[in-house]
Amino acid sequence: QAKSEGKGKLCFFDRGMQERVARRLRLEEDIQRGLDAGEFVAWYQPQFDHRGRIIGAEALARWLHPEQGTLAPGAFIDVAEGSGLMNRIDHMVLQSACRQMARWAQLSEFGSFTLSVNIGASRLYQAGFVEEVLQVFTQTGVDPGCIKLEITESMLLDDMPGAIDRMQALKAHGVRFAIDDFGTGYSSLLYLQRLPLDQLKIDQSFVQALPHDDNSLGIIKAIIGMAQSLGLEVIAEGVETDAQRTQLYQLGCHRYQGYLLSRPEPAERLQALMQSPRYG
Ligand code: C2E
Ligand code: MG
Ligand code: MG
Ligand code: MG
């Protein structure tokens, strides 16, 4: 198509591409600078039980950008993954989450609290991954039993036996595992029962289609059924309305994460919430 539009258009098209490449490069450099400057931090989105108590939180990467304000991963994850910088961001988030959890574990309000951390798409298979995670536990002094690592179904497709080995090596130290965005991949019951799992996280696309979408309702029922037959916890993410929460409760899902209950917040805000009588 570009050809039939003549040389001028081709040139224009090239410049557009050049501009995109240049923008990626600038972003990559900016991420690098931001990492060196300590601008990447972990924020925490609390998770609630059906009585409205906080039972844990998910650590989520945020970039406190000096000019652009607080940026969520959507603004940098593609470029960070493409350039290998996501490993540094992941490491930083794991480290600060574990350090924070070690501090929180000293407070009585955090008695049975678990902190979930996202594992990047290719990290499970990188050489030294297990050792790196164990080293962070040792350095921060966190009880690995308070940490839950979130993986996705697609991460398991490449090398299932390898994934099981690594997960089991960490599991031996007490770490828990959740499958994030569950329902968007291809997991079968047979497949799931081989993994050392603790939790399925219902993907937010299904949750947000409640209460009127029958397909999503069917998928959610199936996920809850799978979790029950495998003896796993189930949590819904992206819960935005009371109607969604009520329906999830009726279907047998009793753990919730979503804007209805709380947005991701800096550590101090979550701590204040935990220490207020309403949530403890
Ligand atoms: P995720 O792990 O599935 O995390 C849930 C995402 O949904 C978060 O987006 C959260 O802010 C958002 N969310 C929570 N409740 C609601 C809700 O009620 N409505 C809506 N619309 N959204 C809600 P966030 O923080 O932008 O992160 C996006 C994704 O980036 C995460 O999805 C995760 O896949 C990835 N990510 C975040 N932090 C890290 C990290 O430290 N390392 C890696 N590798 N990936 C990360
Ligand atoms: Mg997650
Ligand atoms: Mg998710
Ligand atoms: Mg997601």
Q: Give residue ranges with CB within 6 A of ligand 1.
A: 45, 60-61, 72-74, 77, 86, 90, 93, 118, 120, 150, 180-181, 204, 237-240, 257-259, 264
- Global pTM reads 0.94
pLDDT < 50 positions in the chain: 1-4
Confidence at residue 190, expressed as pLDDT on a 0 to 100 scale: 77
Phi-psi region of 60 (alpha: psi -120 to 50; beta: other; left: phi over 0): beta
**Pocket residue to mutate for ligand 1, from 118, 153, 261, most atoms within 8 A of Cβ:** 118
Q: What are the Cα distances from residue 139, in Å, to 95, 134, 201, 233? A: 9, 9, 29, 29
pLDDT at 9: 54
What tokens appear for 140 in the block? Answer: 């921060």
Q: Residue 94 CA: which ligand 1 atom is closest?
A: 41
Identify the residue whose C-alpha is closest to ligand 1 atom 28.
Answer: 73
Given the CA of residue 152, which atom of ligand 1 is nearest to it? 34
ipTM: 0.98
pLDDT recorded at residue 11: 59
Burial class (CB in 10 A: 0-12, 13-18, 19+), 112: exposed
Please give the structure tokens belonging to residue 1.
Answer: 């198509």
Query: How many angstroms separate the CA atoms of 151 and 181, rounded?
Result: 9
Tell me which DSSP letter residue 221 carries: H
Distance of CA 73 from the midpoint of ligand 2 (Å):
11
pLDDT tens string 133-145: 999 999 999 999 9
233 in Cβ contact with 223 (< 8 Å) = no
Average pLDDT taken over every residue of the chain: 92
Q: How is residue 125 annotated by DSSP?
A: G
Distance between CA atoms of residues 250 and 152, nearest Å: 26
Measure Cα distances from 265 to 62, 83, 93, 136, 175 in Å. Answer: 10, 28, 14, 23, 24
Which amino acid is residue 205, in one-letter code?
S
Q: Give me ligand 1 centre to Cα 150, in Å.
A: 11
Stated as kind and residue range, the H or E segment containing 48 is strand 40-49
Which element (helix H / strand E) includes 58?
Answer: strand 54-65
- Return the ligand 1 atom nearest residue 240 CA: 18
